[in-house]
Structure formats: C-alpha cells, structure tokens
Structure 1
Amino acid sequence: MNQPSGLLDAAFAFQTKVFCIISDQRVFRSRSPAIFTTVLGRTGIKGAYVPFMVEDGNIGKALEGLRVLNIAGANITAPFKEKVLPYLDVLSEGANIIGAVNTIVCKGGQLKGYNTNAIGIMDALNEVKFDIAGKKALVIGTGGVARAVVFILNWLRAESVVVAGRDNQKTCRLAGHFSCTPWSLKDLAEFPIDADLIVNATSISSRDESSELTGIIDSIKSNGCQLVFDLNYGRRENIWQSMAEKRGIRFMDGLSALAYQARRTFLLWTGQDVPQEEFLKALEE
C-alpha cells in the first residue's frame, strides 16, 4: 500500500483523525480528497484525507493496515467494492443486501462496511425530480456500483430493470440476485429496448477508454428514454452525454451523486450531519 507517511505522521502528532480512499491508479483522479478536505476544514474537525493506491491482490493487507494505522474511516472505490467484503468484521444491512461496500467505519479495531452509493444515487435522482416508480430502467455494468444502482431502483419501485454486461456469467449472477433481466452488451446494439432511464455503472465514459463500448452506445435503440445518468464524472468528450444530446434526452453525470453519498459517509464517520450545500460547494472549488 503506497502511503504518504509524512502526512500521516503529522496528522497523528496533532491528534488528527485520518480518513482515506482506496483504489487502484484511478484513486488519483478521484474528487473525494478535495471534497472531504474542504468539508473537514469548514466544520472545524481536525482531520486529514489521504488517497491510497493499492495493487490488486493486496486489498486484504490494505484493510489490515487500516487497523494498524488507526485510520478512522475509508472510502472504497473500483475495483475493490466487492473484494473488501471478506476482510470486514461487520456489514450494514444495506451493504449486505447489495453485496458491495464503498464506506468503512473503523472503530476500536473493528471494520464495519456500509454502502452510501445507493442512497446517493437516490438523492441525485430526487434532485432532478426523476421518479423511477413504475418506469423501466437499463443499467450498464455489473460491478459494485451497478449492484447499488439496481438495489436502489428496485427499492424505489421501478417497474423493471435490465442489466447489461460484457461477462455473461457475472451479468446473470447480478440479475438473479436482484430479480431483474440480464442482457449482453451486444444485445444492446442489436435489439431495441424500452427504458425510461439509462444508467452507466461502468468505469468507461470516453471513446479512448473503450472503442467497443462507444460503438455499442452509438447503436443503442432505446424507446422512451427520459434521462441518461452517467455515474462517472470529469470525462472530456463524454460518450454518454453525446448520445443523450443527439437524441434530445436529459443527461446527468455522477458529480451530484458523489456529493450526496459523501454527505452520508461524513455522517457515518463523524456523527455530523452537514448540509448538502457544503459538499456541492466543495465540488465547485
């Protein structure tokens, strides 16, 4: 686990709580450090927020490091949201049902996993006044974020949810867990689909990340779509946004969902219910 030891040493010297985010090389593209550092400063909490890059296969060692270093809380992002489960002591009810964790509270040497992604997605949909109840959704992706999306859409009483993924076995496993319909990505290019909401829950949002997925997106034949929701953010020439604009469909990226889930995470870590506006302002800075 790569870590800026000097920052940690300074933090402990001043009895500062240390929080972190764990991912692969993508950790350095995350906006979470900027958000939490800003909000910690505004609330007067003595805290530091550190990005940790972890190689695949070392996630167990990384979580043990949280205990050893007395880290107060951690964000978990791709590709580790499902892989951390065996190394946690306790799961919240929601995280257990979803089967993925994005937030860990570390207290007394115990690691408890939560999923604030799902509620953050719900809050973001509420912000744009999109009610999925009685409507149809298409979710593209099969990882930890996709699991949170499907869970919250079902909880919000979507009429139906279709999950499309590259790996047929993983797609069918996710669909079976949440009683929704599995499709392959190739199906999306070949067959029309009824979907009021399309959600990108993959890590891909630009052409240079995947020419294959870009081609599929360009070929999607969606009937009645009202909103395209890309859970990524900060991509230049976003392929989901381009698709939505060409078809006259509303588009939303993942920044608001990030802010909403960050607020829920901050409450778990600190007990402070900070107004949502503070997290949104932190994103604008």
Structure 2
Amino acid sequence: MNNIHTGKNISLNGHTILIGLMADPIRHSMSPTMHNNAFAKLGLNYAYLCFEIDNQKLPKAIDAIRTLDMRGSNISMPNKQKVIPYLDRLDESAELCQAVNTIVNDHGILTGYTTDGIGFMQSLKDEGLDITGQKMVLTGAGGAGTPIAMQAAIEGVKEIALFNIDDDKWENAVRNVKIINEKTGAHATLHHLEDQADLKKELASCDIYVDATGVGMKPLEDMTLVEDPTWFHQDMIVYDTVYAPRETKLMQVAKQAGVDHVFNGLGMMLEQGAAAFKLWTGQDMPVEYIRNLLFKEED
C-alpha cells in the first residue's frame, strides 16, 4: 500500500540521519511514504522508519533515540501522553495539551512538540473551510483530541462540546475544558459519551463533528460512535481522524446522511507531518507534491 515509486533514488549511507515513528498499531501508517518521498524530493539524507512500540516498550525506545543519535521521532497512539515523563523539555503547545506527537533530538536533549492541532486546522483550510465562530462536537480527549480542541479554541471556534467515556481520559477531558474556558475565547462543555441522547442533541446543533478516538481503526474498523445517519444534517462537517481504512464506518454513515463535507484523517496527517518535517530538517515539506502522491495512491 505504501510503496510509491517516484523515479528518485533514495541513497542510504554512513551519514544517513534516522527518524522514527513509535506507535502500536503501526504497520498501516502512511508517514514513511510521506517523509521518505519528501526527503528524496529535496535531496535530504534522512530515513524514516516505523517501530511498533507500546507503553511497555516506550521507555527503552526513547532511550534509543539518544543512544542511536536519531534526529527524532513521531509518537502516536497509545504513547502521546505516556511519553512526556521521558522527555527533557516540552514546547508551549505540548505543555498546554499535555500530549506529544513529535520529538526532536538536539545533541541528546529531547524536546516534545504537538503538531496534530495545527495539522487538523490546516487540513480544513486546505478544503476552503473556516470554522471560526462555529460549534464543534468532539469525541475523545486523548493524544489527538486534546490538541484538536486546544488549537480549534485558539483559532476561534466559538463552542466545543467535548464527549468522552468515563475512563482514564476523563480527568484529562476535565482539564481540557477548564483550560479552554480560562485561557481562550471559546466556551467548552464536558459530556458523558455514554449518554447517547445528549450526543444526539449536541450533534443536531453543531457545525462540525470530529471523532478523535480510535474507533473505526483496526481492530475496531467495523464500529462507529454514531450509527444513525439521522443524527447528522447535510450542512455540517464530519471529520474522522482515522485514515486507515480510507473510508471509515463513521464516514459511511455520514455519506448516507447526505453530509456535504466528510473527511478522514489523511489531510490532518499530511499537515501535521509537514510541521514535524520542518522541526527536524529546517526545510518546508513539498506539501502539494506529497499530497498528490498520497491521494493518487488509492485513486
């Protein structure tokens, strides 16, 4: 799926700089395709590889970044919050979100960043959509949902109804709502995802629904948090942060409802990747070139 021939030779040698992606599951990821083709396009001597790392393997994996003198790594589920104690520094946005998706190694000093929220908002702008002043319903308060909520609030979303189940992320959801209400111009409310009647009510009055959970991704690819298409309305945005499978169960339900704007997480993945690329290399990713490769891949 992720092998795209660009006609360019990527030469690995004794000077090649290694960057990783640490997550579990990981083999579905399109990040190696994105970054390695961007390196080749710009003639940069970097290589990007996937490492299947869960919470248990994480401490030694982070040590390996220093030991192997890697330039850094992306971090994805389930490690975006668990990784924080093993880093030396957090940038302002990662500190605010208490989530990290990018690590930069500067001579053994590891700094954590979050580019997910920036990537999410930019992906909407790429589609010509502006959600300033609008209402968002967001499910999930973890490593993806938190930066999405924070960045949306910073960039002018008026109202955020945050839903989460009563699990280990509930306290994080409480924290997110408190920070948004105290430090941004948005108004956030917290809701129990188990209360389906409440979710239905909030969806009826929202402009954009974002699922930032892992529901819809393997092994939950046959599931969706919203099963009834009548809960959606045509003039809204439905955005699933999952991009493998390319069309999730949620997207199928939204299309059945006739929703005008239905997206998977590919655009977010591309734009958050571009921000990480800049942190590692100091250069701008050739975004349109990579976008054409990624979208063309499954045409």
Q: TM over 0.5, yes or no?
A: yes
CA contact (8 A) 2:233 2:258 kept: no
**Where does residue 181 of structure 2 map in the other structure?**
none
CA contact (8 A) 1:119 1:152 kept: yes
Return the TM-score normalized by structure 1.
Answer: 0.88
**Where does residue 19 of structure 2 map in the other structure?**
19
Determine if the alignment matches structure 1 residue 192 to structure 2 residue 228: no
CA contact (8 A) 2:232 2:257 kept: no
- Measure, in 2, the Cα distance between the counterparts of 1:189 and 1:219: 14
- Measure, in 2, the Cα distance between the counterparts of 1:173 and 1:121: 20
- Secondary structure at 1:241's aligned position in 2? helix
CA contact (8 A) 2:23 2:79 kept: yes
CA contact (8 A) 1:165 1:183 kept: yes
Gaps of 5+ in 1: 1-9
Q: CA 1:114–1:246 in structure 2 vs 1: closer, same or farther (change >3 Å)?
A: same
Q: CA 1:248–1:39 in structure 2 vs 1: closer, same or farther (change >3 Å)?
A: same
Return the TM-score normalized by structure 2.
Answer: 0.84
- Measure, in 1, the Cα distance between the counterparts of 2:225 and 2:197: 8
**Where does residue 118 of structure 2 map in the other structure?**
119
Q: CA 1:157–1:253 in structure 2 vs 1: closer, same or farther (change >3 Å)?
A: same
- Measure, in 2, the Cα distance between the counterparts of 1:188 and 1:147: 21
Q: CA 1:246–1:206 in structure 2 vs 1: closer, same or farther (change >3 Å)?
A: farther
Name the structure with the higher helix share.
1
Indicate the percent of aligned positions where both proteins have the same amino acid.
30
CA contact (8 A) 1:102 1:114 kept: yes
Q: CA 1:98–1:276 in structure 2 vs 1: closer, same or farther (change >3 Å)?
A: same
Runs of 4+ in 1 over 4 A off after TM superposition: 222-225
CA contact (8 A) 1:19 1:50 kept: yes
Q: CA RMSD in A?
A: 2.3
Determine if the alignment matches structure 1 residue 251 to structure 2 residue 250: no
- Count of residue pairs the alignment pairs up: 273
- Measure, in 1, the Cα distance between the counterparts of 2:60 and 2:167: 31
Query: Of the candidates 211, 215, 220, which is equivalent to residue 209 of structure 1?
Result: 220
Deviations 1:207-265 (A, max 9, x none): 96176x53643277356751001111131652111221122212011111111111111
Determine if the alignment matches structure 1 residue 232 to structure 2 residue 242: yes
Letter in 1 for 2:236: Q
- Measure, in 2, the Cα distance between the counterparts of 1:62 and 1:29: 20
- Measure, in 1, the Cα distance between the counterparts of 2:174 and 2:221: 24
- Measure, in 1, the Cα distance between the counterparts of 2:143 and 2:77: 8
Letter in 2 for 1:192: K
- Measure, in 1, the Cα distance between the counterparts of 2:213 and 2:53: 20
- Measure, in 2, the Cα distance between the counterparts of 1:38 and 1:207: 26
**Where does residue 44 of structure 2 map in the other structure?**
45
Q: Superposed, which structure 2 residues align to 1:1-285 within 5 Å?
A: 13-24=13-24, 26-167=25-166, 170-179=169-178, 180-189=188-197, 191-193=200-202, 194-205=205-216, 209=220, 214=224, 216-218=226-228, 221-222=231-232, 226-235=236-245, 238-249=248-259, 250-283=261-294, 284-285=296-297
Measure how far apart 1:32 and its partner are.
0.4
Measure how far apart 1:129 and its partner are.
2.1
- Measure, in 1, the Cα distance between the counterparts of 2:122 and 2:207: 18
Measure how far apart 1:55 and its partner are.
3.2
Deviates more, 1:27-36 or 1:128-137: 128-137
- Measure, in 1, the Cα distance between the counterparts of 2:246 and 2:272: 23
Gaps of 5+ in 2: 1-10, 179-187
CA contact (8 A) 2:142 2:172 kept: no
Q: CA 1:41–1:47 in structure 2 vs 1: closer, same or farther (change >3 Å)?
A: same
- Secondary structure at 1:95's aligned position in 2? helix
